[in-house]
């Protein structure tokens, strides 16, 4: 009987993981088994719990319960396994849900926002930028995932890490700005020290220093005079940025669509927010490009 039950459990696990189809399950175990299993999985889906490895969880459940085959008539195995599966899914789902409490904060296009963490540290998000972090682990592991640009003011405490697709920034207590759009990372340090890591390249910034990482290559440290990021003063600066990246920023700032008909190229320069016409002049004139603004001010063509 033990071999028979083990085989049926194996078939159940394969169906849950998608290795066998409904028809194959019916051919092996019958229509009633499929009906009962689908009823359970449909109910579980409605709980909206995080995804999990069903077969691995089912195996752990089997090891934990250690069901005695001799005490279970073969004709009853589907109902018993269905009940055990339901309990297992509830337990695993709740554990993963409780241990995965993440907070996401995003600034809408054209606006900036200020957000305070539980320890009093703060972040100012530039337009279109977002952060995400685990609230449950914050006291011991202050890790933030950033997309876009943000100014951080960090209180002393556990190490504070900012993760971007272009690199990792680690501090203990300081004020710094991180810009990570496209393939570029730009970090400015205003107080304390900041460690910037990208691939196998690492550098440490002190107050009034900045560094660029462009296409995975870290440039030399530069001195800066500003005590806050330029975007907080209404100015947007670019350093060896792709023109497509600059156009993306124009779209975020002015809620427009940019049709770039010219070939992509590198732009270094700045412009102030609030005046689309002047911004386009500052961008296009140095590159020898022309621009046209639609009558409704919703579309810009650069060629």
Tell me the domain boundaries of the chain. Answer: 2-98, 102-231, 234-302
**Biggest alpha carbon–alpha carbon distance for the chain:** 85
Per-residue pLDDT, 10:
65
Q: What is the pLDDT of residue 89?
A: 54
Q: Are 189 and 209 a contacting pair, CB within 8 Å?
A: yes
pLDDT at 20: 79
The residues that bridge with 228 in the sheet, in sequence order, are: none
Q: What is the pTM of this model?
A: 0.63
Contacts (Cβ under 8 Å, ≥6 apart) of 238: 245, 246, 249, 267, 268, 269, 270
Query: How high is the pLDDT of residue 5?
Result: 47
SS3 for 128? Answer: coil
| Domain at 234-302, CATH class | alpha beta
Copy the structure tokens of residue 268: 């270094």
Strands 102-106 and 130-134: antiparallel
In this prediction, residue 34 carries a pLDDT of 75
Is 126 exposed, middle or buried (CB count within 10 Å of its CB: 0-12, 13-18, 19+)? buried
CA gap 149, 164 in Å, rounded = 10
Count CA within 13 A, CB hemisphere, residue 14.
15
Tell me: domain 102-231, CATH 3.90.70.10, correct? no
What is the rounded distance in angstroms from the CA atom of residue 90 to the CA atom of residue 183? Answer: 42
The pLDDT tens digits along the chain (303 residues) read 444 445 666 676 676 667 778 887 777 777 877 777 776 566 545 444 444 444 554 454 445 444 444 444 555 455 555 555 555 555 555 444 445 588 999 999 888 999 999 899 999 999 999 999 999 889 888 999 999 999 999 998 889 999 999 999 999 779 999 999 888 999 999 999 999 999 999 999 999 999 999 989 999 999 999 899 999 888 888 888 899 989 998 998 889 999 999 888 999 998 888 889 999 999 999 999 999 999 998 999 999
């Amino acid at each position: 009987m033990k071999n028979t039950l083990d085989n049926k459990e194996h078939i159940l696990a394969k169906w849950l993981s998608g290795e066998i189809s409904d028809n194959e399950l019916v051919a092996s175990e019958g229509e009633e088994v499929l009906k009962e299993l689908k009823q359970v999985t449909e109910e579980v889906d409605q709980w909206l719990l995080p995804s999990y490895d069903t077969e691995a969880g089912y195996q752990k459940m089997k090891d934990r319960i250690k069901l005695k085959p001799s005490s279970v008539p073969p004709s009853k195995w589907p109902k018993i396994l269905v009940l055990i599966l339901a309990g297992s899914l509830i337990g695993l789902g709740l554990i993963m849900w409780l241990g995965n409490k993440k907070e996401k904060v995003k600034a809408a296009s054209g606006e900036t926002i200020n957000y305070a963490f539980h320890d009093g540290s703060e972040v100012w998000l530039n337009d279109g930028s977002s952060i995400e972090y685990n609230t449950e682990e914050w006291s011991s592991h202050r890790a933030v995932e950033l997309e876009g640009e943000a100014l951080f003011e960090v209180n002393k405490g556990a190490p504070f890490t900012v993760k971007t697709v272009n690199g990792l920034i680690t501090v203990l207590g300081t004020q710094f700005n991180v810009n990570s759009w496209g393939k570029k990372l730009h970090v400015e340090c205003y107080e304390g020290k900041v460690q910037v890591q990208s691939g196998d390249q690492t550098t440490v910034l002190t107050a009034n220093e900045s560094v660029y990482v462009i296409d995975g290559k870290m440039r030399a440290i530069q001195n800066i005079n500003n005590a806050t990021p330029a975007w907080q003063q209404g100015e947007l600066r670019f350093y060896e940025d792709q023109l497509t990246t600059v156009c993306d920023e124009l779209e975020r700032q002015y809620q427009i669509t940019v049709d770039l008909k010219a070939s992509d190229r590198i732009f270094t320069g700045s412009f102030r927010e609030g005046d689309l016409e002047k911004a386009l002049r500052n961008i296009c004139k140095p590159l020898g490009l022309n621009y046209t603004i639609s009558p409704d001010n919703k579309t810009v063509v650069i060629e």
